[in-house]
Structure 1
């Protein structure tokens, strides 16, 4: 499956608007329901999204990116809620900074690796794509 860099850019850019919108719902649900239940569902949603982006189809990759964004919105706010419940108020700002830093560093490197892998899948270069996925899991 061959596609342009514009299409790949469009697929990758869907993440942030979905993430922003679902943070509103995540905040409401995290306040209303048990934290463990919501975070477990978030992990399942992200895992489903990761599986979907491995399918060499534009629709599957788009759906996978949307699922990853939804689950990540819940995960970030869930981590903040966990920190607010378990840590002293004095160290909460440091915890927020560390959670955000880890999310940006690990999430950004993973997203970059996934976008490179997705583009290689679409270009029909599967052998080196497998090496990219192995490198992704090795880094994390």
Structure 2
């Protein structure tokens, strides 16, 4: 196994999936890539007294991915992170194709019961992934 992809969004269940992905990467010697998807980039300027702060959703998403990657990894040389615009499932699939991933790790947060399976990120990824999909228990 060479490459594992995991998506995060800053919430605890996604970090649990990322920890599972990190453990899998550690045990197989694979590279781990942490990605955070965002719907569209918006930039806001915030007046901070003597200066104006610029806040970008794309930059914040990249920061979330990097922060979580830093917390879960044991080997910075074998871990990367990024942010990408799009729906979470589409971003995971696209990153897996781009990086020629062996496994995509997704959480089961919304995979409880028949009504919740439809439309879930895990279901979408499993249906369209170019590689294996590991569904981590995150509830």
TM range (shorter): under 0.3
Q: Which has the higher strand share?
A: 2
Higher Cα Rg: structure 1 or 2?
Answer: 1
Point out the structure with the larger helix share: 1
